[in-house]
Amino acid sequence: MATVRLDNVTKVFPGGARVLDGVSLSVHEGEFLVLVGPSGCGKSTVLRIVAGLEEATCGTVLIDDEVVDHVAPKERDVAMVFQNYALYPHLSVRDNLAFSMRLRHVPARVREQRVLDVAHLLGIDELLDRKPKALSGGQRQRVATGRAIVRDPHVLLMDEPLSNLDAQLRVTMRAELRRLHAERRTTTIYVTHDQVEAMTLGDRIAVLEGGRVHQIGTPHDLYHRPVNAFVAGFIGSPSMNLTQVPVSAGDPPMLQVAGRQWPIPATLAGSLATLAGDSVLLGLRPDAFTWPAPESAPTLDVTVAAVEFLGGATLVFFEPPGEPWHTAAAGDPAANLWTARLGGNAAVRVGERRTFGVDLGSAYLFDAEEGRALRCEEVRMAVPA
Distance CA 125, CA 264 (A): 60
The residue among 125, 107, 105 whose CA lies nearest residue 115 is: 125
Residues 173-191: tens digit of each pLDDT: 888 889 889 988 999 999 9
So what's the architecture of 242-366 in CATH?
Answer: Beta Barrel (2.40)
The hierarchical CATH code for the domain 4-230 is 3.40.50.300
CA 288 and chain centroid, separation: 22
90-104, 197-211, 316-330: segment of lowest average pLDDT: 316-330
Query: At 96, is the pLDDT very low, low, confident or very high (cuts 50, 70, 90)?
Result: very high
CB hemisphere CA count around 270 (13 angstroms): 5
Distance CA 207, CA 193 (A): 10
> pLDDT value at position 384?
36
Query: At 215, is the pLDDT very low, low, confident or very high (cuts 50, 70, 90)?
Result: very high
Cβ(128)–Cβ(94) below 8 Å: yes
Question: Which range is most confident: 24-33, 96-105, 300-309, 363-372?
Answer: 24-33
Across residues 139-164, what is the average pLDDT? 88
Cβ(127)–Cβ(164) below 8 Å: no
Of 186 and 121, the one with more pLDDT: 186
Distance CA 53, CA 39 (A): 20
In the chain, CATH 2.40.50.140 sits at 242-366
Query: At 92, is the pLDDT very low, low, confident or very high (cuts 50, 70, 90)?
Result: very high
> pLDDT value at position 134?
93
Across residues 362-371, what is the average pLDDT? 88
Distance CA 325, CA 365 (A): 12
In the chain, CATH 3.40.50.300 sits at 4-230
Distance CA 299, CA 258 (A): 10
Residue 105: partners with Cβ closer than 8 Å, 6 or more residues away: none
Residues 45-81: tens digit of each pLDDT: 999 999 999 999 999 999 999 999 999 998 999 999 8
pTM of full prediction above 0.85: yes
What is the CA angle 147-152-155, rounded to 5? 95
Kindly tell me if the per-residue pLDDT of 263 is higher than 60.
yes
Burial class of residue 341 (count of CB atoms within 10 Å of its CB; 0-12, 13-18, 19+): middle
Across residues 20-38, what is the average pLDDT? 95
Question: Which range is most confident: 24-33, 234-243, 278-287?
Answer: 24-33
Residue 140: partners with Cβ closer than 8 Å, 6 or more residues away: 85, 87, 132
Q: How would you label 293-324 residue by residue, b for 16+ Cβ within 10 Å and e otherwise?
A: beeeebbbebebeebeeeeeebbbbbebbbeb
What is the percentage of the chain residues whose pLDDT exceeds 90? 51
> pLDDT value at position 270?
62
Kindly tell me if the per-residue pLDDT of 377 is higher than 50.
no
Kindly tell me if the per-residue pLDDT of 271 is higher than 80.
no
Cβ(103)–Cβ(181) below 8 Å: no
Distance CA 4, CA 44 (A): 16
Query: At 369, is the pLDDT very low, low, confident or very high (cuts 50, 70, 90)?
Result: confident
Distance CA 69, CA 60 (A): 6
> pLDDT value at position 267?
65
